[in-house]
Amino acid sequence: MEKVSGYVEHIIYRNEENGYTVMVLVCDGEEVTCVGTLQSAAEGELIEAEGGYTEHSTYGRQFQISSYEYKTPEDELSIERYLGSGAVKGVGMALAARIVRRFKGDTFRIIEEEPERLAEVKGISERKAREIAQQMEEKRDMRKAMLFLQQYGISTALAMKIYNQYGASLYQIVRENPYKLADDIAGVGFKAADEIASRVGIHTDSDFRIKSGLLYVLAQAMTEGHVYLPQPELMRRASELLGVSLEAMEALLPDLAIERKIVIKDVPGAGQGSDGEEVRVPGVYSASNYYLELNTAKMLHDLNISAEISEEAVQRRLEQIEQETGTKLEELQKEAAAAAVSHGLLVITGGPGTGKTTTINALIHYFASEGLEILLAAPTGRAAKRMTEATGYGAQTIHRLLEVSGAVEESSAHTHFERNMQNPLEADVIIIDEMSMVDIFLMHALLSAVTPGTRLIMVGDVNQLPSVGPGCVLKDIIESERFPVVRLTKIFRQASESDIVVNAHKINSGEHVVLDNKSRDFFFLKRDEANIIIRVVLALVQQKLPKYVDAKPYDIQVLTPMRKGLLGVERLNTILQQYLNPPAPDKREREHAGGVFREGDKVMQIKNNYQAEWEIRGKYGIAVEKGVGIFNGDMGIVREINTYAEMLTVEFDEGRFVDYSFKQLEELELAYAVTIHKSQGSEYPAVVIPLLAGPRMLMNRNLLYTAVTRARKCVTLVGSAEVFYQMIDNRFEQKRYSTLKERICEWNV
C-alpha cells in the first residue's frame, strides 16, 4: 500500500450520486491523477491518500485511492490555496490572499473562534464574515461525520446520504438504532443496517433489529409478487433471517401496527374448517401496501358508473362500423362494445385469436364517431408499439401516458407521475392492453389519474403469467365479480388456421398437442442433449427462421424458462453473442461482470430507472424529443461504446437513445435469449424455445402458454417432448398473496 499527500489542484470528474471522483493532486510539485470515491473533497483541500498505482488503457498512470483523510493546511501558501480554490463560496484567490496576509498562520483559528474579525479585511462585511465561518463549520462537521461513519465500514457515498439526511443527529442514530437508516434512506436495506449494527455492538435480539427485520421480510416478499404475507409465513421467513424466538417477533407486531408501519387483517387461509367455513388467518401488510389495495378498490368502484344507453342505437352504430371497416363482429364482441358504451369500467379478456384487437378497433371507431377523446396505452414499449400497429391509433406506455417524472416521491421508493388526482388525464375513453402485466403500483397510479366519468376499458389475457411487480390485478378484478367482464372465447377462422393459436388454447386447457411437424407455424424438434439443442437453436436463429418469417436474426427471440443451467439465459447469451455478434476490429467492447458488451449487441434493461434520460434523434443526431424513464424489460441495441468518455449508448424501441456510464452497466444484460417471464407483453416474428428438465414449480402450463403466445408467425420448440407434455400437465402456479379481490368485495355497491 502506497501513500500520496498533497492538495487537490483540479477535479476532472465527479459522479454526484456515488462520489466517484477523478482529480489531479499536487504532491511535492508533481501532478498525480487520482481516482476514487471522495464525495466531499474540493479543490484546494489537503489530503493524504492510501492506495496504489494502476495503468489505465486510455488515461495512463493513475493512483487508485482506497482510503484517505483530510489534513489541515498549515503553511500560509496552502491555507491561501484552499480558501481561494472555490471551496468557500464567495472567496476567490484575491480575497483569500488578503485574509492570509492579515491573519497569516492563525487564519483557521480566527475563522473558527473569532469569525467577526474577518470584517477587518477589505471586501468582507460582517454578514459575509458569518457566512464564511458557517461554511467552514459545515465542512468541518461533514469531515468529522465522514470519519465517524467510515469507522463502521460505511462507504463515502452512503456516508454522504446519511449526513444529508440526519446532520448532527446521525451520531445518536448510528449508535442507538442504525436500522432507522433502512427506513429513511433509499438504497439502504436491512442487511446493510444489520452489518453496521453488529459493528456498533447492538444485540441480535434488539427490538429495533427485530422490527426492521420483519419489515425487510415484507419488502422482500414484494419482489416475489406478494402484497402481504400470512403471519405464519412471515414468522417462518423472519426466523430464518433473524435467528430469534417466535415469541420475541410476535410480541413486536402490535408495536409495528401502533407505529402504523404494518396492518394486520384476516385473510383467506388454505382450505376449509370442519364446519365448512373458509379458514382465515392473520395477514401482515406493510401499511403502504394495504392502503394501496384499499384505495385501488375504491377508485375502481368510483369509475364503475352505469349509463342508460339505447341498445338498439348501439347495435345500429356497430352495424355501420362493420360496413365501414369490412369486419364482422361476433356476439361477444358486440356485447363488449355495448358494455363499454354503457359502463364506466369494463374488462375484456380472452386468449390469442379471440378477437381482442378487433374489439378494440370497433370501440375506437365507435367512440371516435361520438367525438370523444381516446387514449391507448400498454405496460411496455413493445406492447404499445403492437397496439399502435394493430389499431392505427397512437398508443404509448402507461408510464409515458402518466408523464413519468425523474423525481422519486419522498415518502416511498416509487416513481412520481405528473398525471395524478390533482392533474388527471384529459380523456373520455382510456383503453389499456396487456392488463395481465399491470401490478398494483402501476394500477394505483393509473386510477389516480382517471376521473369518474371517464371510461376505462382493460383488455388482457388472464391466463398469461402475472405481473413482475406485486399483485394479481387483472385476475382479482375479474374474480371479484363486481365489474362488467366480457370473456372472448371464440377462435376466429383466420386465427384458427394458425397452429400457434390452436395449440396455445390446447395447452391452456391441458390438452396434449400432437407433435408431428405437419404445421406451417408450430414445430417441435426433438433433441435430448443441451449442447445439441444449442447448435439447433443457433442454426434456426442464424439461417433458417430469418428467411422463413422474413425477419432479421435480431428479431428472432430465444425464450427459456430459467436463468441458470445449461439452457439458462446466462449461458445461452454468451454462446449466441459469440455467433450472432462476434468480435470485429470495427466493434468496440466493454468488459463487465465477467462478460462483454459489444457494439451491435442486443440488450435488455433489467431494472426500472425513472431518472434515465432518453432522446429521439433526428437528422445529424440532433435530439427532436426528450424524456425520462427506461423500464425493466425494455430492449435495444448497443450503438456506441465510448471508452474515452466511459459511456455506452443504447437505442431502444421507438428510437430512444440512452447513454449509460460504465458504472451503470449493471442495469443492462444481453438479450439474445431472455426468460419467458421477461418476454411478457412482447411479440416477435418467431420464437425459439429450448426445453429440458427444470424445477417443477417453474416448468408449468402457465409458463409454456405464455412462451408460445409470444410468436406472431412461427414458434419452434427444441428439446424433450416428455418435458413439453409434463409442462402441459403441470397446473402448478406459485401462490401470490394478494387481496385486491377482498378489498373490492368489501365496498358496498
Binding residues for ATP are 353-357
Report the alpha-carbon distance of residue 695 to residue 728 in Å, rounded.
14
Helix, strand, or coil (residue 585): coil
Annotated binding site: 353-357
Q: Say which DSSP state 673 is in.
A: E
Three cell numbers, residue 172: 445518536
Three cell numbers, residue 327: 369486419
DSSP 601-664: -EEEE-S-EEEEEEEEE-GGG-EEEEEEEE-TT-EEEEEEEETTTTEEEEEEGGGEEEEEEGGG
Cα–Cα separations (whole angstroms), residue 637 to 371, 549, 615 = 40, 21, 15
Q: What is the CA radius of gyration of the chain?
A: 31
- What residues are paired with 349 via a beta bridge? 460, 487
Helix, strand, or coil (residue 476): helix
Residue 629: burial class (beta carbons within 10 Å; 0-12, 13-18, 19+): buried
Report the alpha-carbon distance of residue 253 to residue 394 in Å, rounded.
49
Reported as type and span, the H/E element at residue 97 is helix 93-103
What residue type is assigned to position 579 of the chain? Y
Report the alpha-carbon distance of residue 34 to residue 48 in Å, rounded.
12
Report the alpha-carbon distance of residue 635 to residue 431 in Å, rounded.
24
Report the alpha-carbon distance of residue 41 to residue 87 in Å, rounded.
9
CB distance 497 to 472 below 8 Å: no
Q: Please, which contacts does 726-729 make with residues 24 or more away whose CB atoms are closer than 8 Å?
A: 726/699, 727/691, 727/699, 727/700, 727/701, 727/703, 728/507, 728/510, 728/511, 728/512, 728/513, 728/701, 728/704, 729/510, 729/701
DSSP 47-69: EEEEEEEEEETTTEEEEEEEEEE
What residue type is assigned to position 333 of the chain? Q
DSSP 337-367: HHHHHHBSEEEEEE-TTSSHHHHHHHHHHHH
Count of CA atoms in the C-beta half-sphere (13 A) of 148 = 18
Helix, strand, or coil (residue 228): strand
Contacts for 695 with CB less than 8 Å, ≥ 6 apart: 562
Residue 156: burial class (beta carbons within 10 Å; 0-12, 13-18, 19+): buried
Total residue count of the chain as it appears in this document: 749
Contacts for 277 with CB less than 8 Å, ≥ 6 apart: none
Neighbours of 3 (CB within 10 A): 11
Reported as type and span, the H/E element at residue 266 is strand 262-272
Helix, strand, or coil (residue 103): helix
